[in-house]
Structures are given as structure tokens and as C-alpha cells.
Structure 1
Amino acid sequence: MIKPSERMKRLGGCLLLAVLFVSQAQAQEKSFLRLTQPGRQINAVTATRQYLVGSTCKSCQVFVNDEPQKVYPTGAFAIEVELEEGSNEFLIKSLGPEGDSIARTVYFTYNIPEAPQPVTAVNIAYVQTFPEGNLLVAPGDLIRFRVKAIPGGTVTVGGQLQLMELPLSGRQTMPGIYQGTYTVQCNDPLITGRGIPVVLESEGTEVRRNTPYTFTLTDPQTQPMVGKTTGDNPFLKYGLGDDRLGGARMGSLDTAVYLHITGKVGSDYRVKLSKTLTAYIPQEQVVMQAPGTFPPSSLSNSWRVWGDDQFDYLTVAFSQKLPYRTTQQTDPSRIVLDIFGATANTNWITQLENSQEIKNAYYEQVEDDILRVTIELKHKQHWGHQVYYNGGTLTVKVKRPPAQPGLGNLTIAVDAGHGGRNTGAQGPTGVYEKEMALAVATSLQQALQAEGARVLMTRVNDSYVDNNYRVTSYRDKDPDLLVSIHLNSSSDPIRIQGTSTYYKHIGFRPLSQHIYKHLLELGLKEFGNIGSFNFALNSPTEYPNVLVETLFLSNPEDEMKILDPDFRHQMADKIVMGIKDFVAEGYTGAEEQQ
């Protein structure tokens, strides 16, 4: 670390000069400075540890406040600096082999974040409600309130609910935080389609505020609200949580599936799947139906298990398109399908001998409104399944294993991440993730073709391709498996590096494990084999898929490797080896499960 005091103290061990010897070609290089982090000259920050990341000429030396820094053979550098409270100035200088130089100054203002302060006047600082957003609620729903106001007062919501001031203990170190939970009632006078009034009484003074969001009541005496899915890839979410990849997904649905809508939070409808299970769906994926439309429910009709020359199928007929979810199980390998609103009304399942991968199929009524179908597979390895409606018949299409262990008869999709305006991460030298992802994907394409595989490429140039389009287009193209190529990034460009693979469905984990194992043979640091990952290209169940975060582009050492064409070819070869191991382990001639 570098401290920006006039003393210019050196923090840590000795830092090596980047260039010791200068060749004739190097001597012709001119000094330059390109900073990728921070992105601005003047920066206000709240952390003492910051980084100066960028690049210069390959034979240049770099100094920060006159102290020499490490420069990688690519010209990249990543320097950690430690800030003092107040203003911090760093002079970054690049010195060329012929003595030419260029300098830039970066400023950080570091102020220790102030601890939250209690309210000192008779006032309300804020009103929060959970879930956040405008709500469409039903009787029995819970609304949580949190209010920050002057300590020692009385806070009521709508004149009906008195909030409690939290005592000081543990993490609760500030007085004046009032909380409470309200249960929505039938014909609730508090729920009027507008904000709810919150009143503080203290020292003979009354202060009124309204909630920042509105609340509307659904009348239980009116007809149930019913929606129908629309679009190419509607999906259900478990809850309202969110991260950079969105909320955790329960699974995708077919178009025109009926849903029982019981509420709305912000832009998400709440869906009643059973008496004990709810989910959420984005409002743009739902078309509301006319009042009087029946909520989804149906008796099961005829069942059949059969096969054609490519796939096995399980079909079950319903009078209405009901919502569902599927999960994969291993040891033994099974597909479990829960159909919501369905009631068993079938005393036989017809199974034909032309089915080659479905070993057994049976059902049980696990709840009044959940019919569970279990499909046992003959082989240990999952090769994919798709659930859809053909008219009113719910169909599970099960993919069979390849006939042989090699790649010669396989169609493999190679997805180069990002592209066009979606640049992805940026490395210290200024290279973008979209460029390196395409470079690795192209090497992988060539390596797979050398093994005889047919390769489908998401993109072959710097073009933008929407993630939802990638998913839906591959559903139509039906590859045998998919590999999505990306590069990782971290705010810490020095400590965080290495390779990782990602999967969502447990049945596809072996593909990610085999590839990960071979990538580590390149001497790369471990970042992990990561499951339940909510990435769009990991969501399909139709074919095994894996996201390969090849390296951390933010790390100069990893960036140097990925910039090397020979290393990219080695990485592609290792991915191919992992795919071959996966296929060899799961082809038709592999051991069947008992």
C-alpha cells in the first residue's frame, strides 16, 4: 500500500522495477498512461483501501508519489493505496525507455462515515414499509412498518396500530426506531388505495406523515383475479429478494398458463400456487383475464409414456393449462414435476416399449392442490428435459444420452458473453470482456470442430445479443449441451483471481465439475464450482449447460494470460477435455442406474 503523506512512506515489502533491460524495439516505445480505475480524477470515497489500475507501455516504469511499482509484461499495473482521512493526492508517473515521461494526478477524499444520529427535534425522519413498493393486498396479508422519529414518543399507523420503539441492545444502538406489523382486515378502512397516515405524538406536538407507497385492497367477495402468462420465457420467482442477477427463479413456464393472482408488490404480481406456496411473476409477463375466469384447477386425465426416434415423452391431459415447476434429482436420477391446482383422477399410466430413457413414471397427490409426477431415468446422467403444453396436454420431453462417448455426433452451443454495447468488464490494459470472451469462444469452436462436433455460435463478431433471445433461440436449435464463456471481475484487482464454473440445475453439475477440474490443470487459482446460479444461460433445463468464468479480467496477472493466444488455446483444449469426460461418463453405453 502507498500512503500519500509528505513523508512518502513505503508500505509493505520491496516493490520491483518493471523493466530492467531495454531492447532495441522497446526503446522505440513512447510513454503513456491509461487509468481504468478510478474512472475519475477526483473521487469521494468511504473506504481507506483504494486501487490505481491501468496500463502503460510495455517497457515503461511506473511510479506513484516517486515510489516504483510493478509493471506486468503487458504494461498493466494494479496498485493498492491506503488513504488518510481528508484529502489524498497521488501522482502517477510513467517513464519511458528513452526518458520521456507522462504524469497524472488522482485525488481521493476520504471521510469516515458518520454514525447514524437520532432525531433530536419532534419530527419523523422517515417512514418505511415492507414489502417495498405500491401494494395490492388481501385480507390476512402482513405489512411491516419502520419509522425513525424522536425517541420517547408515540407513533401510530392510521390511528389503529401503535408501533413499538426498539430497545437499545446488540446491533440496535440508536433510539427512536419504531416498528410494528399490521394484518390486513376484510373491508379494511386503513387500505384506501392511497398512502397510509403515520402520526407521531411527543411533547404535546403532533407530526403527520404518509407512507411513501400506496395500498389497495382486493375484495375477497369479488371474483378471484386470474392472469395468463405471455411472452417467450415467462418465469416464476420464489420471493421479492433481488441481487445483480435478479430474484431467485423457481422456474420457467409455457405461454398461456393460467395463474391465480392474489396481490401485487411494485411491478410483480403475487401468484397463489397452492394453499401453502406463493410465487411472484413480473407484470409484463401476465395478461389479466376477465372477471369470472376460473382460477387454475383441473382433474388429470389420460397419461402416457412413449418415445419417438429422438426423445422420450410423458404426457398427461388437463382441462386447463396449470402452472408447474420441475426439479432434477441425482442418485438416483429423476425428474420431479409439481403441477399446481391439479387433482389426480387417473387409475392407469400407459407405458410403451419405444421409450428408451424413462425407466418409471408415477404420481402422488402430495397436497390437495399439488400433483407430483416422478420420472425415473435409466441412466445416471441428466441430458435435459423440456416441459410445455400441447393444447391441454402437459408434456415432458426427455432427452436421451448420446449413443457414443465421443463428440463426433454432438451439437454444442458456444456462447460468447456480452457483445456490442454490452461491453462487460474491463481489464487494466483497457481490453473489454466482450473481446476476450469472443476470442476464447472462437478457440473453443475450433477445438470442438477438430473433435468432429457441430458448433453453434451465439455470435461471431462484436454484436449485441439479448440474453432472453439467446435462451429462446437455443430452445429452438436444441443443442446437446451449451458452454457460455465469460470473464470475471472484482473491485480488488490484486487479491482476487482464478477460474470458476457455474451451474443452476443439480443434474448438470457434472459438466461444470469436469471442466473446472481440467481448467485447474493450467495452474489457475481456484475460485470455485458454484451452483444454483441465477444466470440466464444456466436457466434452461432442455440441455446440460455451464457458465465458464475463465479468469478475472480485473487482475493484471489473469489478464496477461487471457491476452496470450496460446493460453486461450490451452484453455479451450481443457474445456473440450471436460466436455469429453462428461460425455464419456453419461453416454448410452455407460452403466445404467440400478
Structure 2
Amino acid sequence: MFRWLSLLFIVVTLYAQSDSEILKRADGFMKSSSKSNQFRAYNDYKNLYLRAIMAEDDNLKISALKGIVKSGNKLHIDISQYSDELSKIKPKTSYRAPSPKAIKKSKKAKNIKITSSHKLKSVRWKGDDLILKFDNSLNNNQINYFTLYDSKKGRYRYVFDIHASMLTKSQNLRKSDINRIKLAQFDTNTLRLVIENSEKVKVKFKRESTKLVIYIKSASGKKISKTALPLPKSTSPRRADRNKTIVIDAGHGGKDPGAVGYRKYREKVVVFKISQELRKILRSRGYKVYMTRDRDKFVKLSKRTEYANKRKADIFVSIHANAVGHKNADKAHGIECYFLSSSRSARAEKVAAKENSADLSDMNKYGKNTFLNFLNHHKILASNKLAIDLQRGMLGSLNKKYKVRDGGVREGPFWVLVGAQMPAVLVEVGFISHPKEAKRLVDNNYRKTMAIGLANGIERYFAKN
């Protein structure tokens, strides 16, 4: 561990800017209404937090933690860990972590303790009203509503965070005049409803005892398809710049078989076949494409992004297959895309633990997460965009013939992505432990269809960025 921390200290000292300069810059970014600048501020504060740890500077740590909490709340990022640490450092102060603005509290809502006993029982439509019914009466301070607008993509998002939990799995809700409505468990105590549309949406809501009634109607009243957001066509975008270099990383290999799933199918074989097919498609479209392994051999995780850096790749895509234990093999299925962060969500931790298992480093969990955070923060936004396009590409291609579950785009501490000097994403092409999905993953036609979707997603990313 000390060897890694020494290396980290050397990397930190290479930064010429002083702590005060970075803090001033971060504070400046925080005054901006731009989400991109607020994200830059968040990353600067995280950088300062790292420096404070190395320098054992409590004053700097407090300033950094305050900034992380403030910017994190604006961006709706879970900063509870940092908020808790700040409260422990300053036990005698009256500091309280700011929280996103909620709807106005009624007098009756004061001093009400919110518990996880609030659970979602049902969801149904009644005309333009979406009705969420819970097992207990809701309080005003359990509902947090905010809106977001992505000017580059021309996309509106209307978000409800409800202090409650679901009794059912995440689901996409259909409405003819709205692009997408998704209901999912955001974290242990927060149920999140996201209404997403290319045009403004009329949204009103009211609390009726155990019900939350949300009126949702497109401002234009224009009818659209009842599917999710428009997915890319099978043909590639015309204006994509194909003078790009792509490195594809087929996960595991050699002595490391990866996950061994249904009928002893091996992850290393499946992902290598998909990677080969993806390379073939991308090369046929005019891209320069390389693979971190061209046969069944073991490659250390740290060497994979090192190879991509040497090739001066524009993007790095690591292909993997997911798996769960035999007990849940029939339940877990779907495709997912991950980008790098030190996320500690239970889901990301489980997947990352599996994919990081081949790494023989003696660095502990804290050291790894700190290192991940520092080296890659400037690529998080680009990697997030790439992951979204890859996910949409796979869904658009596969769902024409096969019905696949959308596991979503997530962030996690994947060691294979560390050190990449370009946008880097880890793709989980399905669960090799699931009987039906495993059979698909060893089918050449299915793998080719998936590879086409990944190629379309890559081209979509290049066309937009």
C-alpha cells in the first residue's frame, strides 16, 4: 500500500497550481449555472480533498469537503459519505450539509422522522395522471422535485426524488407523448422518477395521503412512439469522423477464465468472439482498431490501458460478461455499460469486484478508490457520454430481433479503466449465468447483432463529439 501511496504523492506534486488557486477556480465554477462548470468544481474539490489527505491539512480538507457537499448536492450526487466526514471533523460547529430544495413544508410536516417503512405498492395511469401509491401516508418533506435541461442534446428532464423504497424492480413507464419515463431505486432510501423529453413537459403534482399524483403532458401535445428515447438506426451516422483509433479490450484471458456460467460457458471466450466481430465491423467502416489481446492469453489489467495509451487511442472499450451465483441465475439478466468512478453503490461494487479480481495489486480499497478518483476525474463526463451511446446502440440493434433488459448506464471502480488517457468504458454484454442469455451469448448471430449495436454506438459518439 505504501508503494502506491508514494506513487500517488509523486503524481499529486506534479500539479503546478497551488491549493489556493484550485480552490479559487472551483469556487468560481460553482457560481456558474452551467452543469459542466459545476461538475468541474466538484472534481476540483475532490482533487483538493486528496491533497489535504496527503498533506494532513485539516483546514484544506474542511474547505474541500464543504465544496464537495455543496457541488454534489447541486448535481444530485450522493455525497453522504463526505457530509458525514465533515460533521465528524467539525463536531462543535453548526454546519449542516445543504440539501436540494424540496417543496414547501407544511406546519404539520415539522419534526417528522422519515423511515424506510415507506414503500411503493403500485403504479398506474389514470388519463394523464401517474399515480404512485405507498403503504404509508407521505409527508411534504419526503418529496424533492427538480428539473434539468441539456442544451447540447436539447433534452428536458423532470426528476422526482421520493424518500421511499420499491417493492418491484425498476421499470420504464410508457406514455404516447413522452420520450421516456423511468422509475428506479436511486439509492437505499430514495426512489427516483425521471421524465425525459425532447420538448417541454407540463408537470404538476399533489400529495393525497398515501398517493403521489403526477400530471404529465407534453406541452405541444404531439404524439410520439411509445418506446423509450429514439434509438440509433442500424446504419451508422453519416457525418462521423472515421479518422479515429479504437482499442477494444476483450476481458480476462489465458489463466483467467472470467466468469464460468451456464453449461460451463466461459466469459473469456464469449467476450473475445464479440470483440473480434466488433473489430471487423469497425475496420470495415474505416477506423483503426486494435485489441489488447489477439488470442487466449492473460494480460494484466494495468497493461491494457497502457497499450491503449501507446496506440494513442481515441476511445477504450472493455468487453465483459456478467454473472451471479446459481441461486439467482434465473433472475439476473440484461446489458449494462459502466464508466469509471469511485462509486460505492452496492451494484457497482459487486460487478467491479468480479472484474477487478484478476488484479494482483496489494493496494487496498481506500488506496484504489483515491487513485481512481484522482487520475480519471477529467474523463468522467466524456466516458459517461460514450457509455450512454454504447448502451443505446446495443439496445437499438438487439431489440429488433431479441428482447433484452436495459440494465442502464452506471459508474463504478473498475481497475481495468484506470490510467486511460481517453474516454474509457466497460461493457457488460449480458449474464453468462442466465440460461437464456448464456445461450444467446454463444450464438454467432446474436454476437454479430450486438457488435453492430456497439459499432453504431461508437459512431454515434464520434458524430456528436
- TM-score of the aligned structures, taking structure 1 as reference length: 0.34
Q: Which structure carries more strand by proportion?
A: 1
Greater relative contact order (Cα < 8 A, sep 6+): 2
Q: Which structure carries more helix by proportion?
A: 2
